[in-house]
Structure 1
Protein backbone atom coordinates (compact mmCIF):
# COMPACT_ATOMS: atom_id res chain seq x y z
CA UNK A 1 0.00 0.00 0.00
CA UNK A 2 2.88 2.36 0.85
CA UNK A 3 4.43 1.69 -2.57
CA UNK A 4 1.13 2.42 -4.31
CA UNK A 5 0.68 5.63 -2.29
CA UNK A 6 4.22 6.72 -3.08
CA UNK A 7 3.66 5.98 -6.76
CA UNK A 8 0.44 8.02 -6.75
CA UNK A 9 2.16 10.92 -5.03
CA UNK A 10 5.01 10.77 -7.53
CA UNK A 11 2.54 10.72 -10.41
CA UNK A 12 0.65 13.71 -9.01
CA UNK A 13 3.86 15.67 -8.51
CA UNK A 14 4.93 14.84 -12.07
CA UNK A 15 1.60 16.09 -13.41
CA UNK A 16 2.05 19.33 -11.44
CA UNK A 17 5.55 19.80 -12.80
CA UNK A 18 4.48 18.98 -16.33
CA UNK A 19 1.74 21.60 -16.07
CA UNK A 20 4.47 24.22 -16.03
CA UNK A 21 6.97 22.72 -18.40
CA UNK A 22 8.18 25.02 -21.16
CA UNK A 23 5.76 24.87 -24.13
CA UNK A 24 7.23 25.93 -27.46
CA UNK A 25 3.90 26.97 -28.98
CA UNK A 26 3.36 29.32 -26.02
CA UNK A 27 6.78 30.83 -26.64
CA UNK A 28 6.05 31.17 -30.36
CA UNK A 29 3.01 33.29 -29.53
CA UNK A 30 4.98 35.29 -26.96
CA UNK A 31 7.46 36.03 -29.73
CA UNK A 32 4.70 37.68 -31.78
CA UNK A 33 4.73 40.62 -29.38
CA UNK A 34 6.36 43.65 -31.01
CA UNK A 35 8.03 46.43 -29.09
CA UNK A 36 6.91 48.96 -31.70
CA UNK A 37 3.27 48.07 -30.95
CA UNK A 38 3.85 48.69 -27.24
CA UNK A 39 5.45 52.03 -28.11
CA UNK A 40 2.54 52.99 -30.35
CA UNK A 41 -0.03 52.12 -27.68
CA UNK A 42 1.78 54.07 -24.96
CA UNK A 43 2.16 57.17 -27.13
CA UNK A 44 -1.51 57.07 -28.14
CA UNK A 45 -2.51 56.56 -24.51
CA UNK A 46 -0.47 59.60 -23.51
CA UNK A 47 -2.17 61.79 -26.13
CA UNK A 48 -5.57 60.99 -24.60
CA UNK A 49 -4.67 63.23 -21.66
CA UNK A 50 -5.56 63.04 -17.98
CA UNK A 51 -8.20 60.31 -17.76
CA UNK A 52 -9.86 61.22 -14.49
CA UNK A 53 -12.92 59.05 -13.95
CA UNK A 54 -16.03 60.85 -15.16
CA UNK A 55 -14.12 63.13 -17.54
CA UNK A 56 -14.37 63.40 -21.33
CA UNK A 57 -10.77 62.17 -21.52
CA UNK A 58 -11.73 59.07 -19.58
CA UNK A 59 -14.65 58.44 -21.94
CA UNK A 60 -12.39 58.94 -24.96
CA UNK A 61 -9.89 56.45 -23.53
CA UNK A 62 -12.62 53.82 -23.23
CA UNK A 63 -13.64 54.46 -26.84
CA UNK A 64 -10.00 54.17 -27.92
CA UNK A 65 -9.64 50.80 -26.16
CA UNK A 66 -12.90 49.55 -27.69
CA UNK A 67 -11.78 50.55 -31.19
CA UNK A 68 -8.57 48.62 -30.67
CA UNK A 69 -10.48 45.41 -29.93
CA UNK A 70 -12.71 45.92 -32.96
CA UNK A 71 -9.61 46.42 -35.11
CA UNK A 72 -8.22 43.12 -33.80
CA UNK A 73 -11.35 41.35 -35.05
CA UNK A 74 -13.33 41.01 -31.83
CA UNK A 75 -17.04 41.36 -32.54
CA UNK A 76 -19.51 43.78 -30.98
CA UNK A 77 -21.12 40.75 -29.32
CA UNK A 78 -17.88 40.06 -27.45
CA UNK A 79 -17.56 43.63 -26.17
CA UNK A 80 -19.65 45.00 -23.31
CA UNK A 81 -19.69 48.43 -21.71
CA UNK A 82 -20.40 48.23 -18.00
CA UNK A 83 -21.66 51.60 -16.65
CA UNK A 84 -21.44 52.50 -13.00
CA UNK A 85 -21.90 55.59 -10.88
CA UNK A 86 -20.62 56.81 -7.54
CA UNK A 87 -22.60 59.83 -6.43
CA UNK A 88 -22.52 62.23 -9.38
CA UNK A 89 -19.55 60.40 -10.88
CA UNK A 90 -20.41 58.31 -13.93
CA UNK A 91 -18.08 56.06 -15.89
CA UNK A 92 -17.81 52.68 -17.61
CA UNK A 93 -15.72 49.54 -17.49
CA UNK A 94 -15.03 47.69 -20.74
CA UNK A 95 -15.33 43.90 -20.84
CA UNK A 96 -14.21 41.69 -23.73
CA UNK A 97 -15.11 38.00 -23.56
CA UNK A 98 -13.30 35.20 -25.38
CA UNK A 99 -15.06 31.86 -24.91
CA UNK A 100 -13.23 28.70 -23.90
CA UNK A 101 -13.63 25.33 -25.58
CA UNK A 102 -13.78 22.97 -22.59
CA UNK A 103 -14.97 25.17 -19.71
CA UNK A 104 -16.87 27.96 -21.47
CA UNK A 105 -18.66 29.02 -18.28
CA UNK A 106 -15.54 29.36 -16.11
CA UNK A 107 -13.45 32.50 -16.58
CA UNK A 108 -9.90 33.65 -16.21
CA UNK A 109 -10.08 37.40 -15.72
CA UNK A 110 -7.15 39.55 -16.82
CA UNK A 111 -7.66 43.15 -15.81
CA UNK A 112 -6.15 46.58 -15.38
CA UNK A 113 -7.41 50.14 -14.99
CA UNK A 114 -7.22 52.87 -17.62
CA UNK A 115 -8.12 55.93 -15.54
CA UNK A 116 -5.43 58.32 -14.32
CA UNK A 117 -5.11 61.36 -12.06
CA UNK A 118 -2.92 64.47 -12.31
CA UNK A 119 -1.21 63.23 -15.47
CA UNK A 120 -1.61 61.01 -18.55
CA UNK A 121 -0.73 57.88 -16.55
CA UNK A 122 1.51 56.20 -19.12
CA UNK A 123 3.02 53.94 -16.46
CA UNK A 124 -0.02 53.93 -14.16
CA UNK A 125 -1.70 52.35 -16.01
CA UNK A 126 -1.12 52.78 -19.72
CA UNK A 127 1.52 50.07 -19.31
CA UNK A 128 -0.98 47.44 -18.14
CA UNK A 129 -3.56 48.64 -20.67
CA UNK A 130 -1.09 48.31 -23.54
CA UNK A 131 -0.03 44.81 -22.49
CA UNK A 132 -3.65 43.68 -22.21
CA UNK A 133 -4.38 44.98 -25.71
CA UNK A 134 -1.43 43.20 -27.29
CA UNK A 135 -2.17 39.99 -25.39
CA UNK A 136 -5.77 40.03 -26.62
CA UNK A 137 -4.61 40.65 -30.18
CA UNK A 138 -2.11 37.79 -30.20
CA UNK A 139 -4.44 35.27 -28.53
CA UNK A 140 -7.60 36.23 -30.43
CA UNK A 141 -7.71 33.10 -32.61
CA UNK A 142 -5.96 30.77 -30.15
CA UNK A 143 -8.33 28.33 -28.50
CA UNK A 144 -8.21 28.07 -24.71
CA UNK A 145 -9.93 25.57 -22.45
CA UNK A 146 -11.16 28.29 -20.09
CA UNK A 147 -12.95 31.44 -21.15
CA UNK A 148 -11.11 34.74 -20.77
CA UNK A 149 -12.49 38.13 -19.84
CA UNK A 150 -10.24 41.09 -20.62
CA UNK A 151 -11.54 43.83 -18.31
CA UNK A 152 -10.45 47.47 -18.45
CA UNK A 153 -11.57 49.17 -15.24
CA UNK A 154 -12.26 52.83 -14.62
CA UNK A 155 -12.42 54.47 -11.19
CA UNK A 156 -9.39 52.66 -9.74
CA UNK A 157 -7.54 55.78 -8.68
CA UNK A 158 -10.47 57.21 -6.70
CA UNK A 159 -11.11 53.99 -4.80
CA UNK A 160 -11.46 50.85 -6.97
CA UNK A 161 -14.92 52.05 -7.99
CA UNK A 162 -15.16 50.19 -11.30
CA UNK A 163 -13.86 46.85 -10.08
CA UNK A 164 -15.92 47.06 -6.90
CA UNK A 165 -19.04 47.62 -8.99
CA UNK A 166 -18.18 44.69 -11.25
CA UNK A 167 -17.37 42.29 -8.40
CA UNK A 168 -20.38 43.27 -6.29
CA UNK A 169 -23.06 43.87 -8.91
CA UNK A 170 -22.08 41.90 -12.03
CA UNK A 171 -20.26 38.83 -10.71
CA UNK A 172 -22.90 38.71 -7.97
CA UNK A 173 -26.51 39.87 -8.22
CA UNK A 174 -28.72 39.78 -5.12
CA UNK A 175 -25.93 37.79 -3.44
CA UNK A 176 -26.20 35.10 -6.12
CA UNK A 177 -23.11 34.33 -8.18
CA UNK A 178 -23.56 35.01 -11.89
CA UNK A 179 -20.00 34.46 -13.14
CA UNK A 180 -17.81 31.50 -12.19
CA UNK A 181 -14.24 32.83 -11.89
CA UNK A 182 -11.20 30.57 -11.99
CA UNK A 183 -8.81 33.39 -11.05
CA UNK A 184 -8.10 37.10 -11.45
CA UNK A 185 -4.81 38.31 -13.01
CA UNK A 186 -4.25 42.05 -12.52
CA UNK A 187 -1.77 44.34 -14.31
CA UNK A 188 -1.06 47.68 -12.67
CA UNK A 189 1.91 50.05 -12.93
CA UNK A 190 4.28 47.80 -14.86
CA UNK A 191 6.16 50.51 -16.77
CA UNK A 192 9.06 51.17 -14.44
CA UNK A 193 11.08 54.35 -14.61
CA UNK A 194 13.40 55.02 -17.53
CA UNK A 195 17.04 54.89 -16.53
CA UNK A 196 16.59 52.33 -13.76
CA UNK A 197 17.79 48.72 -14.06
CA UNK A 198 14.44 46.98 -14.43
CA UNK A 199 15.15 43.25 -14.61
CA UNK A 200 12.62 42.01 -12.01
CA UNK A 201 8.85 42.12 -11.62
CA UNK A 202 6.72 41.65 -8.52
CA UNK A 203 4.18 38.83 -8.66
CA UNK A 204 1.45 39.78 -6.20
CA UNK A 205 -0.09 37.22 -3.88
CA UNK A 206 -2.97 37.44 -1.47
CA UNK A 207 -1.52 37.71 2.03
CA UNK A 208 -4.43 39.45 3.72
CA UNK A 209 -8.20 39.58 3.85
CA UNK A 210 -9.94 36.24 4.28
CA UNK A 211 -7.41 33.44 4.75
CA UNK A 212 -9.59 30.98 2.81
CA UNK A 213 -8.25 32.13 -0.57
CA UNK A 214 -4.64 32.84 0.44
CA UNK A 215 -3.25 29.35 -0.19
CA UNK A 216 -4.77 29.19 -3.68
CA UNK A 217 -3.38 32.65 -4.44
CA UNK A 218 0.06 31.56 -3.27
CA UNK A 219 -0.10 28.61 -5.67
CA UNK A 220 -1.09 30.59 -8.75
CA UNK A 221 1.41 33.30 -7.87
CA UNK A 222 4.14 30.64 -7.87
CA UNK A 223 2.87 29.57 -11.29
CA UNK A 224 2.99 33.20 -12.45
CA UNK A 225 6.59 33.45 -11.28
CA UNK A 226 7.48 30.29 -13.18
CA UNK A 227 5.80 31.57 -16.34
CA UNK A 228 7.71 34.83 -15.98
CA UNK A 229 11.07 33.07 -16.00
CA UNK A 230 10.00 30.60 -18.71
CA UNK A 231 8.72 33.12 -21.25
CA UNK A 232 10.54 36.38 -20.49
CA UNK A 233 14.06 37.47 -19.49
CA UNK A 234 12.76 38.88 -16.20
CA UNK A 235 13.30 37.63 -12.68
CA UNK A 236 10.27 37.35 -10.38
CA UNK A 237 9.73 38.12 -6.70
CA UNK A 238 6.61 37.98 -4.54
CA UNK A 239 4.83 41.00 -3.12
CA UNK A 240 1.61 41.36 -1.07
CA UNK A 241 -1.45 42.19 -3.17
CA UNK A 242 -2.78 45.60 -2.20
CA UNK A 243 -4.39 48.83 -3.44
CA UNK A 244 -5.42 47.67 -6.93
CA UNK A 245 -8.45 46.23 -8.69
CA UNK A 246 -7.87 42.60 -7.70
CA UNK A 247 -8.70 43.57 -4.11
CA UNK A 248 -12.37 44.04 -5.09
CA UNK A 249 -12.37 40.37 -6.12
CA UNK A 250 -10.33 39.22 -3.13
CA UNK A 251 -13.04 40.59 -0.86
CA UNK A 252 -15.55 38.35 -2.63
CA UNK A 253 -13.37 35.28 -2.04
CA UNK A 254 -11.80 35.05 -5.51
CA UNK A 255 -8.27 33.80 -6.19
CA UNK A 256 -6.00 36.66 -7.24
CA UNK A 257 -2.52 37.39 -8.53
CA UNK A 258 -0.90 40.08 -10.62
CA UNK A 259 2.12 42.02 -11.83
CA UNK A 260 3.52 45.23 -10.35
CA UNK A 261 6.83 46.95 -11.04
CA UNK A 262 9.70 45.88 -8.74
CA UNK A 263 11.63 49.17 -8.60
CA UNK A 264 8.82 51.57 -7.84
CA UNK A 265 8.63 54.79 -9.81
CA UNK A 266 7.78 57.98 -7.95
CA UNK A 267 6.08 59.52 -11.02
CA UNK A 268 2.57 57.96 -11.03
CA UNK A 269 -0.19 60.45 -10.11
CA UNK A 270 1.98 63.30 -11.38
CA UNK A 271 2.24 65.24 -14.66
CA UNK A 272 5.57 63.45 -15.26
CA UNK A 273 4.02 59.99 -15.69
CA UNK A 274 4.75 60.23 -19.41
CA UNK A 275 6.06 58.12 -22.26
CA UNK A 276 9.47 59.78 -22.01
CA UNK A 277 9.84 58.62 -18.40
CA UNK A 278 8.60 55.04 -18.92
CA UNK A 279 10.89 52.04 -19.53
CA UNK A 280 9.46 50.66 -22.77
CA UNK A 281 11.67 47.56 -22.73
CA UNK A 282 10.38 46.71 -19.26
CA UNK A 283 6.77 46.96 -20.47
CA UNK A 284 7.71 44.80 -23.46
CA UNK A 285 9.27 42.11 -21.24
CA UNK A 286 6.33 42.07 -18.81
CA UNK A 287 4.14 41.75 -21.90
CA UNK A 288 6.01 38.57 -22.80
CA UNK A 289 5.52 37.19 -19.32
CA UNK A 290 1.82 38.09 -19.46
CA UNK A 291 1.19 36.30 -22.76
CA UNK A 292 2.96 33.20 -21.49
CA UNK A 293 1.11 33.25 -18.16
CA UNK A 294 -2.35 33.82 -19.62
CA UNK A 295 -1.90 30.88 -21.95
CA UNK A 296 -0.94 28.77 -18.94
CA UNK A 297 -3.85 29.91 -16.76
CA UNK A 298 -6.48 29.59 -19.52
CA UNK A 299 -4.83 26.41 -20.91
CA UNK A 300 -4.17 27.44 -24.47
CA UNK A 301 -3.91 25.03 -27.36
CA UNK A 302 -0.47 23.48 -27.30
Structure 2
Protein backbone atom coordinates (compact mmCIF):
# COMPACT_ATOMS: atom_id res chain seq x y z
CA UNK A 1 0.00 0.00 0.00
CA UNK A 2 2.77 2.44 0.84
CA UNK A 3 4.38 1.78 -2.55
CA UNK A 4 1.09 2.43 -4.38
CA UNK A 5 0.46 5.68 -2.55
CA UNK A 6 4.02 6.85 -3.16
CA UNK A 7 3.62 6.12 -6.86
CA UNK A 8 0.39 8.08 -6.97
CA UNK A 9 1.98 11.03 -5.28
CA UNK A 10 4.83 11.05 -7.79
CA UNK A 11 2.37 10.87 -10.67
CA UNK A 12 0.11 13.58 -9.31
CA UNK A 13 2.83 15.75 -7.85
CA UNK A 14 0.78 17.06 -4.95
CA UNK A 15 1.44 17.09 -1.24
CA UNK A 16 -0.41 14.84 1.17
CA UNK A 17 -3.83 16.10 2.20
CA UNK A 18 -2.61 15.88 5.79
CA UNK A 19 0.10 18.42 4.92
CA UNK A 20 -2.30 20.96 3.45
CA UNK A 21 -2.34 24.20 5.37
CA UNK A 22 -4.74 27.09 5.41
CA UNK A 23 -3.52 29.97 3.24
CA UNK A 24 -4.99 33.34 4.16
CA UNK A 25 -4.74 34.74 0.62
CA UNK A 26 -6.61 31.75 -0.77
CA UNK A 27 -9.42 32.45 1.69
CA UNK A 28 -9.42 36.14 0.78
CA UNK A 29 -9.95 35.23 -2.87
CA UNK A 30 -12.56 32.59 -2.02
CA UNK A 31 -14.41 35.32 -0.14
CA UNK A 32 -14.57 37.31 -3.40
CA UNK A 33 -17.12 34.84 -4.74
CA UNK A 34 -20.22 36.98 -5.13
CA UNK A 35 -23.66 35.59 -4.35
CA UNK A 36 -25.11 38.51 -6.32
CA UNK A 37 -23.09 37.56 -9.41
CA UNK A 38 -24.03 33.90 -9.05
CA UNK A 39 -27.67 34.91 -8.73
CA UNK A 40 -27.45 37.08 -11.85
CA UNK A 41 -25.65 34.35 -13.80
CA UNK A 42 -28.21 31.71 -12.84
CA UNK A 43 -31.09 33.98 -13.84
CA UNK A 44 -29.43 34.81 -17.15
CA UNK A 45 -28.80 31.11 -17.75
CA UNK A 46 -32.45 30.36 -17.13
CA UNK A 47 -33.60 33.03 -19.61
CA UNK A 48 -31.53 31.37 -22.35
CA UNK A 49 -34.07 28.53 -22.41
CA UNK A 50 -33.69 24.82 -23.12
CA UNK A 51 -30.13 24.43 -24.38
CA UNK A 52 -30.39 21.16 -26.28
CA UNK A 53 -27.17 20.50 -28.15
CA UNK A 54 -27.40 21.81 -31.70
CA UNK A 55 -30.23 24.24 -30.92
CA UNK A 56 -30.18 28.05 -31.29
CA UNK A 57 -30.56 28.25 -27.49
CA UNK A 58 -27.42 26.18 -27.09
CA UNK A 59 -25.53 28.50 -29.46
CA UNK A 60 -26.83 31.53 -27.58
CA UNK A 61 -25.67 30.07 -24.27
CA UNK A 62 -22.16 29.57 -25.64
CA UNK A 63 -22.06 33.16 -26.85
CA UNK A 64 -23.33 34.40 -23.49
CA UNK A 65 -20.55 32.49 -21.69
CA UNK A 66 -17.97 33.89 -24.12
CA UNK A 67 -19.21 37.42 -23.42
CA UNK A 68 -18.72 36.92 -19.69
CA UNK A 69 -15.06 36.07 -20.21
CA UNK A 70 -14.53 39.08 -22.43
CA UNK A 71 -16.14 41.27 -19.76
CA UNK A 72 -13.64 39.90 -17.20
CA UNK A 73 -10.75 41.00 -19.41
CA UNK A 74 -9.83 37.71 -21.10
CA UNK A 75 -8.63 38.33 -24.64
CA UNK A 76 -9.78 36.75 -27.89
CA UNK A 77 -6.51 34.79 -28.20
CA UNK A 78 -7.20 33.12 -24.84
CA UNK A 79 -10.60 31.89 -26.05
CA UNK A 80 -11.13 29.05 -28.50
CA UNK A 81 -13.94 26.79 -29.65
CA UNK A 82 -13.91 23.07 -30.33
CA UNK A 83 -16.61 22.17 -32.89
CA UNK A 84 -18.16 18.71 -32.98
CA UNK A 85 -21.23 16.98 -34.37
CA UNK A 86 -23.93 14.66 -33.09
CA UNK A 87 -25.36 13.28 -36.30
CA UNK A 88 -26.54 16.33 -38.23
CA UNK A 89 -26.48 18.57 -35.18
CA UNK A 90 -23.44 20.78 -34.68
CA UNK A 91 -22.20 22.37 -31.48
CA UNK A 92 -19.09 23.79 -29.85
CA UNK A 93 -17.15 23.49 -26.64
CA UNK A 94 -15.69 26.72 -25.27
CA UNK A 95 -12.12 26.74 -23.91
CA UNK A 96 -10.43 29.62 -22.08
CA UNK A 97 -6.72 29.27 -21.27
CA UNK A 98 -4.94 31.17 -18.51
CA UNK A 99 -1.18 30.60 -18.76
CA UNK A 100 0.84 29.48 -15.75
CA UNK A 101 4.06 31.19 -14.71
CA UNK A 102 6.23 28.21 -13.71
CA UNK A 103 4.86 25.21 -15.62
CA UNK A 104 2.83 26.78 -18.46
CA UNK A 105 2.73 23.55 -20.47
CA UNK A 106 0.97 21.64 -17.67
CA UNK A 107 -2.73 22.29 -17.23
CA UNK A 108 -5.38 22.11 -14.57
CA UNK A 109 -8.74 21.69 -16.30
CA UNK A 110 -11.84 22.95 -14.52
CA UNK A 111 -14.92 22.03 -16.51
CA UNK A 112 -18.67 21.62 -16.63
CA UNK A 113 -21.37 21.35 -19.30
CA UNK A 114 -23.80 24.08 -20.33
CA UNK A 115 -26.28 22.06 -22.42
CA UNK A 116 -29.63 20.99 -20.99
CA UNK A 117 -32.63 18.88 -21.94
CA UNK A 118 -36.35 19.41 -21.33
CA UNK A 119 -35.78 22.50 -19.18
CA UNK A 120 -33.43 25.45 -18.71
CA UNK A 121 -31.05 23.36 -16.58
CA UNK A 122 -30.33 25.93 -13.86
CA UNK A 123 -29.10 23.22 -11.50
CA UNK A 124 -27.88 20.83 -14.20
CA UNK A 125 -25.68 22.64 -15.07
CA UNK A 126 -26.10 26.36 -14.77
CA UNK A 127 -24.82 25.91 -11.22
CA UNK A 128 -21.46 24.51 -12.33
CA UNK A 129 -21.28 27.01 -15.19
CA UNK A 130 -21.77 29.95 -12.81
CA UNK A 131 -19.07 28.73 -10.43
CA UNK A 132 -16.55 28.26 -13.23
CA UNK A 133 -17.30 31.81 -14.39
CA UNK A 134 -16.72 33.16 -10.88
CA UNK A 135 -13.45 31.25 -10.57
CA UNK A 136 -12.25 32.66 -13.89
CA UNK A 137 -13.26 36.20 -12.91
CA UNK A 138 -11.51 36.13 -9.56
CA UNK A 139 -8.33 34.42 -10.75
CA UNK A 140 -7.98 36.47 -13.95
CA UNK A 141 -4.86 38.35 -12.77
CA UNK A 142 -3.65 35.93 -10.09
CA UNK A 143 -0.35 34.21 -10.98
CA UNK A 144 -0.55 30.41 -10.90
CA UNK A 145 2.30 27.94 -11.31
CA UNK A 146 0.25 25.78 -13.69
CA UNK A 147 -1.91 26.86 -16.59
CA UNK A 148 -5.67 26.67 -16.11
CA UNK A 149 -8.16 25.72 -18.79
CA UNK A 150 -11.73 26.77 -18.04
CA UNK A 151 -13.80 24.51 -20.30
CA UNK A 152 -17.55 24.62 -20.97
CA UNK A 153 -18.74 21.46 -22.67
CA UNK A 154 -21.81 20.92 -24.80
CA UNK A 155 -23.31 17.53 -25.65
CA UNK A 156 -23.02 16.11 -22.13
CA UNK A 157 -26.67 15.18 -21.77
CA UNK A 158 -26.66 13.16 -25.00
CA UNK A 159 -23.69 11.08 -23.89
CA UNK A 160 -20.58 13.17 -23.11
CA UNK A 161 -20.16 14.02 -26.81
CA UNK A 162 -18.42 17.34 -26.29
CA UNK A 163 -15.93 16.25 -23.67
CA UNK A 164 -15.23 13.01 -25.53
CA UNK A 165 -14.46 14.97 -28.69
CA UNK A 166 -12.15 17.33 -26.83
CA UNK A 167 -10.34 14.50 -25.04
CA UNK A 168 -9.96 12.33 -28.16
CA UNK A 169 -9.37 14.96 -30.84
CA UNK A 170 -7.78 17.92 -29.05
CA UNK A 171 -6.08 16.74 -25.86
CA UNK A 172 -5.03 13.54 -27.64
CA UNK A 173 -4.65 12.28 -31.19
CA UNK A 174 -5.00 8.55 -30.84
CA UNK A 175 -2.51 7.67 -28.09
CA UNK A 176 -0.42 10.78 -28.68
CA UNK A 177 -0.85 13.37 -25.95
CA UNK A 178 -1.19 16.92 -27.30
CA UNK A 179 -1.91 18.69 -24.01
CA UNK A 180 -0.22 17.95 -20.69
CA UNK A 181 -3.05 17.61 -18.16
CA UNK A 182 -2.18 17.62 -14.48
CA UNK A 183 -5.74 16.97 -13.34
CA UNK A 184 -9.41 17.53 -14.21
CA UNK A 185 -11.86 19.16 -11.77
CA UNK A 186 -15.48 18.76 -12.92
CA UNK A 187 -18.55 20.60 -11.61
CA UNK A 188 -21.94 19.12 -12.44
CA UNK A 189 -25.30 19.57 -10.71
CA UNK A 190 -24.25 21.53 -7.65
CA UNK A 191 -27.44 23.55 -7.20
CA UNK A 192 -28.84 21.60 -4.28
CA UNK A 193 -32.39 20.65 -3.41
CA UNK A 194 -34.33 23.80 -2.50
CA UNK A 195 -35.79 23.76 0.98
CA UNK A 196 -33.28 21.22 2.33
CA UNK A 197 -30.39 21.87 4.70
CA UNK A 198 -27.61 21.69 2.11
CA UNK A 199 -24.48 21.67 4.24
CA UNK A 200 -22.51 18.88 2.51
CA UNK A 201 -21.06 18.34 -0.96
CA UNK A 202 -19.89 15.17 -2.67
CA UNK A 203 -16.27 15.05 -3.84
CA UNK A 204 -16.06 12.57 -6.71
CA UNK A 205 -13.40 9.87 -6.66
CA UNK A 206 -12.36 7.72 -9.62
CA UNK A 207 -13.18 4.13 -8.69
CA UNK A 208 -13.41 2.59 -12.16
CA UNK A 209 -10.10 3.52 -13.78
CA UNK A 210 -6.79 1.69 -13.65
CA UNK A 211 -5.14 1.18 -10.27
CA UNK A 212 -2.70 3.96 -11.19
CA UNK A 213 -5.56 6.33 -12.00
CA UNK A 214 -7.54 5.41 -8.93
CA UNK A 215 -4.70 5.98 -6.49
CA UNK A 216 -3.93 9.39 -7.94
CA UNK A 217 -7.62 10.33 -8.03
CA UNK A 218 -8.03 9.26 -4.42
CA UNK A 219 -5.22 11.61 -3.44
CA UNK A 220 -6.75 14.46 -5.47
CA UNK A 221 -10.18 13.84 -3.99
CA UNK A 222 -8.83 13.87 -0.43
CA UNK A 223 -7.17 17.19 -1.19
CA UNK A 224 -10.43 18.50 -2.66
CA UNK A 225 -12.23 17.49 0.53
CA UNK A 226 -9.61 19.22 2.64
CA UNK A 227 -9.89 22.42 0.57
CA UNK A 228 -13.67 22.31 0.91
CA UNK A 229 -13.37 22.25 4.70
CA UNK A 230 -10.62 24.88 4.75
CA UNK A 231 -12.23 27.49 2.50
CA UNK A 232 -16.00 26.97 2.77
CA UNK A 233 -18.53 26.18 5.51
CA UNK A 234 -19.42 22.89 3.81
CA UNK A 235 -18.77 19.34 4.91
CA UNK A 236 -17.48 16.89 2.29
CA UNK A 237 -18.14 13.23 1.54
CA UNK A 238 -16.77 10.88 -1.14
CA UNK A 239 -18.89 9.74 -4.08
CA UNK A 240 -17.89 7.60 -7.08
CA UNK A 241 -17.08 9.59 -10.23
CA UNK A 242 -19.56 8.65 -12.96
CA UNK A 243 -21.78 9.88 -15.80
CA UNK A 244 -20.21 13.31 -16.31
CA UNK A 245 -17.57 14.97 -18.46
CA UNK A 246 -14.54 13.97 -16.41
CA UNK A 247 -15.11 10.36 -17.51
CA UNK A 248 -13.93 11.28 -21.03
CA UNK A 249 -10.56 12.18 -19.47
CA UNK A 250 -10.49 9.20 -17.13
CA UNK A 251 -10.66 6.95 -20.17
CA UNK A 252 -7.49 8.64 -21.45
CA UNK A 253 -5.68 7.90 -18.19
CA UNK A 254 -6.00 11.34 -16.59
CA UNK A 255 -6.49 12.16 -12.91
CA UNK A 256 -10.05 13.28 -12.18
CA UNK A 257 -12.16 14.59 -9.33
CA UNK A 258 -15.13 16.92 -8.98
CA UNK A 259 -18.12 18.26 -7.07
CA UNK A 260 -21.71 16.98 -7.08
CA UNK A 261 -24.63 17.90 -4.83
CA UNK A 262 -25.04 15.74 -1.71
CA UNK A 263 -28.84 15.79 -1.44
CA UNK A 264 -29.82 14.95 -4.98
CA UNK A 265 -32.56 16.91 -6.66
CA UNK A 266 -34.98 15.01 -8.91
CA UNK A 267 -35.67 18.08 -11.08
CA UNK A 268 -32.74 17.98 -13.55
CA UNK A 269 -33.85 16.97 -17.06
CA UNK A 270 -37.31 18.43 -16.35
CA UNK A 271 -38.91 21.80 -17.07
CA UNK A 272 -38.79 22.50 -13.33
CA UNK A 273 -34.99 22.72 -13.21
CA UNK A 274 -35.31 26.47 -12.68
CA UNK A 275 -33.84 29.28 -10.62
CA UNK A 276 -36.76 29.13 -8.20
CA UNK A 277 -35.88 25.51 -7.37
CA UNK A 278 -32.13 26.08 -6.94
CA UNK A 279 -30.39 26.77 -3.62
CA UNK A 280 -28.29 29.81 -4.50
CA UNK A 281 -26.56 29.87 -1.11
CA UNK A 282 -25.39 26.30 -1.70
CA UNK A 283 -24.00 27.20 -5.13
CA UNK A 284 -22.22 30.15 -3.49
CA UNK A 285 -20.65 27.92 -0.82
CA UNK A 286 -19.49 25.38 -3.41
CA UNK A 287 -18.07 28.34 -5.31
CA UNK A 288 -15.93 29.23 -2.30
CA UNK A 289 -14.76 25.62 -2.00
CA UNK A 290 -13.93 25.61 -5.72
CA UNK A 291 -11.86 28.80 -5.45
CA UNK A 292 -9.86 27.36 -2.58
CA UNK A 293 -9.29 24.06 -4.36
CA UNK A 294 -8.43 25.53 -7.75
CA UNK A 295 -5.81 27.81 -6.17
CA UNK A 296 -4.34 24.82 -4.35
CA UNK A 297 -4.18 22.59 -7.41
CA UNK A 298 -2.92 25.32 -9.76
CA UNK A 299 -0.32 26.65 -7.32
CA UNK A 300 -1.74 30.16 -7.00
CA UNK A 301 0.35 32.92 -5.49
CA UNK A 302 -0.09 33.28 -1.74
CA UNK A 303 0.82 36.97 -1.88
TM over 0.5: yes
Q: Which runs of 5+ in 2 are unaligned?
A: 1-14
Q: Offset at 1:17? A: 6.0
- In the alignment, what sits opposite 1:265? 265
Matched residue count: 288
Find the aligned partners of 1:204 and 1:270 in 2 and give their Cα distance.
Answer: 24
Question: Does residue 235 of structure 1 match 2:235?
Answer: yes
* Equivalent residues in 2 for 1:154-193, closer than 5 Å: 154-193=154-193
CA apart distance, 1:34: 1.1
Contact 1:114 1:154 in 2 (8 A): yes
1:114-151 Cα offsets, whole Å, 9 max, x none, are 00000000000000000000110000000000000000
Considering only aligned residues, what root-mean-square deviation do their CA atoms show, in Å?
1.0
The 5 A counterparts of 1:26-65 are 26-65=26-65
Q: Are residues 1:132 and 2:155 paired? A: no
Aligned-partner Cα distance in 2 for 1:16–1:127: 30
Match in the other structure for 1:210: 210
Within 5 A, what are the aligned runs for 1:238-253? 238-253=238-253
CA distance in 2, matches of 1:112, 1:288: 16
* Alpha-carbon separation, structure 1, partners of 2:18 and 2:214: 24
Measure the CA separation in 1 of the matches of 2:72 and 2:19. Answer: 30
Is the contact between residue 229 and residue 235 of structure 1 (CA under 8 Å) also seen in structure 2? yes
| Corresponding position of 1:93 | 93
3-state SS of the aligned residue for 1:300?
coil
How far the C-alpha of 1:288 sits from its partner, in A, is: 0.2
Larger Rg: 1
Quote how far apart the aligned CAs of 1:94 are. 0.1
Give the structure 2 partner of residue 11 of structure 1: none
Q: Alpha-carbon deviations, 1:226-251, whole Å to 9, x = none? A: 00000000000000000000000000
Please give the alpha-carbon distance, in whole angstroms, between the structure 1 residues aligned to 2:17 and 2:242.
29
Instruction: For residue 36 of structure 2, give the secondary structure of its aligned residue in structure 1.
Output: helix
Runs of 4+ in 1 over 4 A off after TM superposition: none
The runs of 5 or more residues in structure 1 that have no matched partner are 1-14
Shift of 1:193: 1.5
Is contact 1:199–1:235 with CA below 8 Å preserved after alignment? yes
